[in-house]
Amino acid sequence: MPALVSLFLIYPAHSQVDHWETAVYENDTWKYLVPASAVSSSWITPAFNDAAWLTGPGGFGMGDADDNTTLPGGTVSVFQRIQFSVTDVSAIEKMVFNIDYDDGFVAYLNGVEFARSEMAGTGQPAYNDLASALHEAEMYQGGYPLQLILDQAFVAAYLQNGTNVLCVQTHNQSAGSSDLSSRVFLHLGINNTSADYGPVPTWFNPPVELTTTNLPIVVINTSGVGIPDEPKIDATMGIIYNGPDQLNSITDPFNEFYGEIGIETRGSSSGGFPMKSYGLETRGPSPEINYNASIFDWPSDNDWILYAPYNDKALIRNVLTYKIGNETGHYAPRTQMCEVILNGEYQGVYVFMERIKQNPGRVDIDPLNYNDTLGNELTGGYIIKVDKTTAGGVVAWTSPYTCASPGWGPIDYQLHDPELDTLHPLQLQYIEQYVTDWEDALAGPDFADSVLGYAPYIDEMSFIDFMLVNEISKNVDGYRISTFLYKERLSEGGELVAGPLWDFNLAWGNADYCEGGLTTGWEIYFNSVCGGGGGLQNPFWWDRLLQDPEYAHAVNCRWQELRQDVLNTDSLMNYIDTMALYLDDAQQRNYVKWPVLGVYLWPNNFVGATYAEEIQYLKDWTTQRLDWMDANMFGSCADLSFETFSQVQLTVYPNPVAEKLTIIIPDQVSAATVRIMSADGVVIKEERIENSGSWSLDVSAYAAGVYFVELQNSDAKIGSARFIKM
C-alpha cells in the first residue's frame, strides 16, 4: 500500500461559491498577432506594449465557421492578449478557464503559465512550433469546451486587484491545415452577493462540488495538461476508498492507491463525447518498467480503464454484463463504480475496470514470449479479436470465409495480446492456421462430427455463453465488433475460447439501430443493412454452430440452467435495483455535471426524463427480452426442464458476506455433497452432509469475489446458489 497522501493541500478549507460571473468572453475585444517571426518572451506580462498588435473580437481562427475574427489560411499560430479588471480578489473563490481550440494551446495569467494542451516541451513555444496532435474544436458541433478549474490558492497567488492580463497562444498541427480555433472564456466563482462582472453564458456548467460519496473517489492530476488520444502523458492518481458501506470524503487520505500513471483518452465512436473515457497505466519511478498494483484488491496489474458511461444513462450496462459473464464461470473484467476528479474538476460517475490482457488474474493463459516458436510453447497463449480498426487496430489476417448470409463482408482478425508487432512470424503463422483450420472444419460437410468437425477446436460452452449474453442484451455490436477469442496452450487444453465479454454500453435496449431497441428477434441473424461498426457484419461461425442439432440442444439446456440463477428474472431485477440505489446520490451529481437526462444522445432508443425512468426502462426491456427468449430459444432440451432445476432451492446469507456464511439445506435433502467453487469453477471446499438444516462456512480467508455453492447427489447437481465475498 502506498504512503497516505492528504488532499488537504489540494482542497483547502474555503468559503462556498455563491454564484458565477464571467470576466472574459470569447467575443470581447482582444489584441492579437499572427506572427511571422519570433515574439518577445515578455508578451505574456502585464507591462508588455501591444500597441502594434491588431485588434479584433475574440473567437480567432478559420475553417470551422466558429470565428469572429477570421485568420488567413495556413496560419500556424495566433497570439492573443486581453486585460480585465478585478474588483476584490478576496471575493473570488475560484476561477474556471474555458477554451475551445484546434489544435494546441498554452495559456498564461499575469505572466504565469497555468494551462497547456497538445504543445510539447516546457516554456513558451516558438511562433512556428506545431501542435503535437490533432484536436478538434467542440462548440461549433454542439460540444463543450475544455474546462480547467483554478482553485483558491491559485487565485490568491496570481490574481490581483485592478488590471490583469490573460494571454493565450494557439497553434495548428500542420502549416497547411485548413482550420484553427481559439475561443477563450474566464469565469469567476464569487463568494458573496456582489455583481461586478458579466453573466455567464447559457452553456456554462458550474463545477460540481464533491465532498462525500459512498463511491470510491479517483483523483487525477495532469498539471493542467490536456489528455490526448495517444500517447499517454504523465500524471498522478490517488484513490480514496474506505471500504463497502463507508462514506469517502474528499479530505480523506489516498488510502487505496497513490502513484504515477500514464493516461490517454480512449474510445472510437465515444471519442467525440465531452465525457471522456481513459486508458491508465500505473507507473513506477522508471517509466520503462511496468508497475503492477492491486487496486480494490484485484489481481495486480498495470493496465486499467476509466470508462465513461455517457450515453448509457442507466450507467450500469457494462457492469451488469460483466457481472453476468463472471457468474457464468468465465472471466470478465472486474468493475468498480467511482466518481472522478480531474485537475480539480468533478467529472462524474465512471467505471474503474480491468483492461483485457493475459494475466493469471484476468485471461489466465500462458504468456507468449517472442522466442516461443516450438512445441507446446508455440500453441498459446493468444488473445485475438474481431473489431473495428478506427481506434488504431491493425488487421493481422483476413479469413478465407465471408460473414454470414445475407452478409458479404470479410472477417478480419486482429492480435490483441501479444500485439501484432511483437509476434514472431512463426507465431502469427501458427495462430492464423489454427483459426483457419477451425473455420475449414466448421464450414465443411462434416462440421457436426465430433472428430472431423469444429468440436476439437473450441470450448463449446464458452461460445454458448458468449452468444447467450450477447442475445439477452441484444448487443448491436455483438459478434461483429469487440469480439474477443483466446487460445490456450495444448498443455492447458489447447482450445479456442470465446470471450472475454467487452463493450456493452449500446446493448440492453440502448441502441436505435440494428433493431437494438426491439425485445424480439435474434441479433445473430441481423446481418444486413446494419449501420455502425464500419459496415462490419457477423462472422459465419455463430449461425453455422446452431445448425448442429447437438449444439442447439446444448444451447437450450444451458439457457434453462442459467434462467434458474444467473439469468433469473428476479435476480436481475434485484441487482439493477441494488445498483440504482447504490448510485442514487452519485447519479444526481453526474447529471448536474452532464445535464443529458431528457436529451437524445446517439444512439439512445429511449430517452427518460429522470434516472428512475432510465432504470425502469432497462428493467422493463430486460424482462420482455427474457420472456421472448424463453418462448423462442434455439433447440430443445426435454431432459433438462425448469421443474428439475426448481426442485431444490438453496438459501445463503448474509450475502454479500465478510466472515461467516450460512447455507440452508432444504428439508427434502437427506444426504448430499456441498461444493464451494470460485467464479472460474475451481472447487475450494467439498463436504458430505447427512441432514438438512443450516451449514456454516468460515469464508474470512477467501479472496473478494463471486463464489458458487452447489448441492450434488449421485454426481448430479440438484441445487445451487451464489454469494459474494466482500
Pair 329, 681: CB distance under 8 Å: yes
Q: What is the mean pLDDT of residues 288-303?
A: 90
Give the whole-angstrom CA distance, residue 724 versus residue 705: 6
| Residues whose CB is less than 8 angstroms from the CB of residue 344 and which lie 6 or more positions away in sequence, other chains included | 10, 149, 150, 151, 221
271 band by pLDDT with thresholds 50, 70 and 90: low
Instruction: Answer yes or no: is pLDDT of 197 > 50.
Output: yes
Give the span between the Cα atoms of 226 and 187, in whole angstroms.
19
* Selection from 297, 324, 319, 298 nearest residue 309 by Cα: 319
Sheet architecture: strand order including 683-689: 683-689, 672-678, 705-713, 716-725
Burial of 691 (0-12, 13-18, 19+ CB in 10 A): exposed
Question: What's the CA gap between 296 and 331, in Å, rounded?
Answer: 17
Question: What are 720's strand-pairing partners?
Answer: 710
Between CA 137 and CA 216 the distance in angstroms is 32
Q: How far apart are CA 423 and CA 383, in angstroms?
A: 12
- CA dist., res. 640 & res. 658, Å (int): 35
Q: What is the DSSP letter of 523?
A: G
Which three cell numbers, joined as nine digits, stand for 146?
Answer: 475544455
Q: Which carries the bigger pLDDT value, residue 477 or residue 24?
A: 24
* Least confident span in 562-566, 647-651, 683-687: 647-651
Query: 47-56: long-range contacts (C-beta < 8 A, 24 or more apart)?
Result: 48/81, 48/165, 50/81, 53/81, 55/29, 55/30, 55/31, 56/29, 56/30, 56/32
What was the pLDDT predicted at 461? 96
Residue range 561-571, pLDDT digits in tens? 999 999 999 99
Residues 6+ apart with CB under 8 A from 532: 269, 476, 477, 513, 514, 603
- The chain-wide mean pLDDT, for the chain, equals 90
**Nearest alpha-carbon partner for 224 in 110, 116, 100, 329:** 116
For residue 295, what is its C-alpha cell?
A: 487496486
Instruction: Give the three cell numbers for residue 83.
Output: 486585460
Question: Distance (Å, rounded) from C-alpha 2 to C-alpha 259?
Answer: 8
Q: Which pLDDT value is given to residue 544?
A: 96
Cell numbers describing residue 418: 501479444
Q: Write down the pTM of the prediction.
A: 0.75
Check: CB of residue 507 under 8 Å from CB of residue 481.
no
Rg (alpha carbons) of the chain, rounded to whole number: 29
pLDDT digits (tens, 9 = 90+) for 589-615: 999 999 899 999 999 999 999 999 999
Taking CA 707 as the corner, what is the angle to CA 701 and CA 712, rounded to the nearest 5 degrees?
115
- Domains detected in the chain: 19-190 (2.60.120.260), 212-354 (no CATH), 375-547 (no CATH), 647-725 (2.60.40.3080)
pLDDT category at 680 given cuts 50, 70, 90 is low
Return the pLDDT at 640: 58
Q: Which three cell numbers stand for residue 589?
A: 451529481
Strand order in the sheet with 382-386: 395-402, 410-417, 382-386, 483-487, 496-498
Q: What angle do CA 566, 300, 376 make, to 5 degrees?
A: 85
Residue with the larger pLDDT of the pair 152 and 654: 152
From the list 502, 362, 494, the residue with the least C-alpha distance to 431 is 494
Please give the average per-residue pLDDT across 521-529, as a whole number.
Answer: 78
C-alpha–C-alpha distance, residues 426 and 416, integer Å:
17
**How far is it, in rounded angstroms, from Cα 260 to Cα 249?**
22
CA distance 15 to 578: 36
Identify the pLDDT of residue 15: 66
In sequence order, which residues have a C-beta less than 8 Å from that of residue 475 and are 6 or more positions away?
469, 504, 506, 507, 516, 523
Closest listed residue to residue 96, CA positions, set 210, 17, 9: 17
pLDDT of residue 384: 98
Take residue 724 and report the three cell numbers written for it: 459474494
What order do you get walking across the sheet with 651-653 strand by strand? 651-653, 660-665, 693-698
Q: Which of the four pLDDT bands, split at 50, 70 and 90, describes residue 36? A: very high
Please say if the pLDDT value at position 642 is more than 60.
Answer: no
**124 pLDDT tier (thresholds 50, 70, 90):** very high
Question: How many CB atoms lie under 10 A from the CB of residue 650?
Answer: 19
Let me know: does 451 contact 480? Beta carbons within 8 Å. no
605-641 burial string, b = 16+ CB within 10 Å, else e? bbbbeebebbbbbbbebbeebbebbeeebbbebeebe
Rounded Cα–Cα distance for residues 495 and 435 (Å)? 10
- Spatial distance between the Cα atoms of 160 and 130, rounded to a whole number of angstroms: 33
